Amino acid sequence: MTSRPLSVDFHFDPMCPFAYAASVWIREVRTQCDITVNWRFFSLEEVNRAEGRKHPWERRWSYGWSLMRVAAYLRRRDEAFADAWYERIGRELHEHGGKPHDPDVARELLKEIGHDPRLLDEALADPTTHEDIRADHQRVVDAGGYGVPTLIFPDGQCLFGPVLIHSPTGERAARLWGSVTTLLEFPHVYEIQRPKSAAAHTDILTAMQPYLAGRDWETVDRGKVVDIPPLPAIEPATTDGEGRSW
């Protein structure tokens, strides 16, 4: 068995709930396994852009892209700043159902993590932050990637995933890291996928409720708008005269 990698480039779009769940996991892996995580970008807005629509770098403000421009600006100063920024905006959207993609909210979140809120405007005034995102994004595209989370390892191998909703912690996080990195020994294994049952779809939809409350856009997967149904209604419990329910 080959040795486990000591670092990984984690490509994310801050708007993606699955990338956020994986980012919580990879931070735990960092603690458990003493690895280095390099935060890199990928734009779902760009890869799912409909023909004739503006590129995200052509818009004055563009949800995930603009938040990544702030991350790029912070990353130039210290990778830890970009880490803290992604953690805070991700938690705001994917756990609290907030709107970090609102510029005023984003400025407040910058203050929370110890930065001058004017840094957002500085990042947007710097056209080279577009270049940072485009370079990271193109790296995934050139590797045949199409979404997030995408992991790129020091030997150049690229893996999509893991796609999860509940981030394992402790020893379980390390075990999943071991399973993921074992695939690096088998470069001709291209896909393993777990079919999603009706119960799994309900679990995913339940976990995504904060994201659905905070988003101001349609969810798109590989160019197709995803119709996300409401959660099924839960029938109230019926009780007998002694207070037992069934």
pLDDT tens, position by position, 113-153: 999 999 999 999 999 999 999 999 999 999 999 999 999 99
Residue 26 and residue 75: Cα distance in Å, rounded? 18
- Bridge partners (DSSP) of residue 36 are 7
DSSP for the chain, written as a single string: -PPPPSEEEEEE-TT-HHHHHHHHHHHHHHHHH--EEEEEE--HHHHTPPTTSPPGGGSS--HHHHHHHHHHHHHHH-HHHHHHHHHHHHHHHHTT---TTSHHHHHHHHHHTT--TTHHHHHHH-THHHHHHHHHHHHHHHTT--SSSEEE-TTS-EEE----SS---HHHHHHHHHHHHHGGG-TT-----PPPPHHHHHHHHHHTHHHHHH--S--EETTEE---PPPPPPPPPPB-TTS-B-
Q: What is the pLDDT of residue 223?
A: 64
Q: What is the pLDDT of residue 2?
A: 59
Q: What is the pLDDT of residue 115?
A: 98
- Taking Cα atoms as reference points, which of 184, 176, 139 lies closest to residue 11? 139
Arithmetic mean of pLDDT over the chain: 92
The model's pLDDT over 201-229, given as tens digits with 9 standing for 90+, comes to 999 999 999 999 999 887 776 666 777 77
pLDDT greater than 90 at residue 244: no
- Output the CA torsion 95→74→40→225 (10° steps): 50
- Bridge partners (DSSP) of residue 12 are 41
CB count within 10 Å of CB 130 equals 18
pLDDT greater than 90 at residue 240: no
